[in-house]
Structure 1
């Protein structure tokens, strides 16, 4: 089981700026502390005429093509939340406001590392509420062709991901980790998103990847990796898919005690798994991890 822990927020606000991967629009993002019970809430500061708060919860996920998009009842959306959500999950941030002056979380270098550094800059504060976790009691699986994603019981949070891109520099890769703050920092946070050069033009015609470049993604052309510095890990591709899954699962709003297994899965299947789990109350239970204490720090 996970150790005892109370809910956690940030000690201070911190800011970061960059481009949206798909919109190509410059955006500034401010993370700031939030009260107990808030969860992760994105705030579109550029929208003033309607509700501009979008909670990062499973039922608000409205689009999953090449990224996770959340939308509130007023039609306000925030795109590409998965990398910062992975950082929140791994560093155990329960309550935070994420203020944006545009429609998309900045892509930065294509990994979660800049967001980990942002949270480190803000610092952490323990809150006066025991943290809850969702414990998997029965196996849950969703399948789409040769793609599958599942959650099965385990005593800790584990992630196994498998991908297969035959005839490319990626090939067959497997990542299998117990996810702790340390393992995320050392093994996953720096793994970048990736794509194929021959698909970029089609994506841009579809209104996607307008901000994509070698500065924020691994780009593959045939059997060549175009990035001058090469890879950060020999299996960086599958590590990034594991990172994505951690972020996508965090729309559950709490840590997981269980094992996620993904085979060729993407954002859509990850969210389908979350929704399947929530539709099966016999397959999980909510457990309390900490004690009611005064805020610290």
Structure 2
């Protein structure tokens, strides 16, 4: 746990194409003051600022989208939000000249490299956390997700696909910047060749390719020449998605998030369900350290405008 909020030491820039739109897009990362949070500034004549919060989620179909799907929005925010959460970046303004975060190589590693190259600056504002006090669970058919009390920030994600290339996989870890960088960040998005024509006809996946997606062919095998980056890359990518979706709480969790056969919609629903039950969590920050003693997390009174107030 870290006591103080962070931002970047210097600016950074990335460019690529949107996985669904296929259009080129650039991002500029701008350092921000404490308590700014993560803010997307959409450039253009109808541009506006979109805060990376659960209340701004406009759609969870195929990706997590902030804003109005029929108006100003930013889609596919889950990978960049996962990287910011995984590396502990609290405050950042992201200028974007399109409506979708670039897919890059389909993972979060390019975001990680840009953040590490820019450097991390510690600010004077105290970091606040959402500490889970009791189990909160949501179910949807055979799928479910839940938050449970835990002393750290833990993810336990399990998936189950009929495809022989995937099958049933699980990943569990207490999350830290090192664990995220080594175990999660390089896991790529994935899909099935049989779904491609349907997605194209619906106007999706126009920027998808073997350079940014793990693709499973009609014979049930991975068709990417280089194969997988991890033996269980699929569930690790689902963990990345969950981290990015839950980062829209506006503060880190002290607790365990568990899911079975989850996705963006279930992650968003679980987060809304948690934040609607104020008896299930409390807002805490680190107390002052005394010599020879580690800091304790103490409950504080959250302002009414806090992102977790719904």
**TM-score strictly above 0.5:** yes
In structure 1, what is the Cα distance between the partners aligned to 2:193 and 2:28?
32
User: Is the 1:23–1:104 Cα contact (8 Å) retained in structure 2?
Assistant: yes
User: Is the 1:5–1:289 Cα contact (8 Å) retained in structure 2?
Assistant: yes
In structure 2, what is the Cα distance between the partners aligned to 1:15 and 1:80?
17
Residue 208 of structure 1 deviates from its aligned partner by 0.8
Residue 224 of structure 1 deviates from its aligned partner by 1.4
Q: Which residue of 2 aligns with 1:196?
A: 192
User: Is the 1:191–1:239 Cα contact (8 Å) retained in structure 2?
Assistant: yes
Q: How does 1:20-59 map to 2 (within 5 A)?
A: 20-45=18-43, 47-49=44-46, 52-59=48-55
Cα RMSD over matched residues? 1.6
The reply on whether 1:209 has 2:205 as its aligned counterpart is yes
Structure 2, unmatched stretches of 5+, are: 290-310
In structure 1, what is the Cα distance between the partners aligned to 2:247 and 2:288?
22
Select the structure with the greater relative contact order (CA < 8 A; seq sep ≥ 6).
Answer: 1
Residue 87 of structure 1 deviates from its aligned partner by 0.6
Aligned length: 288
User: Is the 1:6–1:290 Cα contact (8 Å) retained in structure 2?
Assistant: no
Listed one character per residue, the Cα deviations across residues 251-291 of structure 1 (whole Å, up to 9, x for unaligned) are 01111100000100100010001111110000000001366
TM-score normalised to the size of structure 2?
A: 0.90
In structure 1, what is the Cα distance between the partners aligned to 2:277 and 2:207?
39
Structure 1, unmatched stretches of 5+, are: 293-297
Q: After TM superposition, what 4+ stretches of structure 1 lie above 2 angstroms from structure 2?
A: 72-75, 289-292
Residue 76 of structure 1 deviates from its aligned partner by 1.6
Q: Which moved more, 1:72-81 or 1:176-185?
A: 72-81
User: Is the 1:52–1:76 Cα contact (8 Å) retained in structure 2?
Assistant: yes
User: Is the 2:86–2:180 Cα contact (8 Å) retained in structure 1?
Assistant: yes
Q: Which residue of 2 aligns with 1:156?
A: 152
Residue 41 of structure 1 deviates from its aligned partner by 0.3
Residue 4 of structure 1 deviates from its aligned partner by 3.8
TM-score normalised to the size of structure 1?
A: 0.94
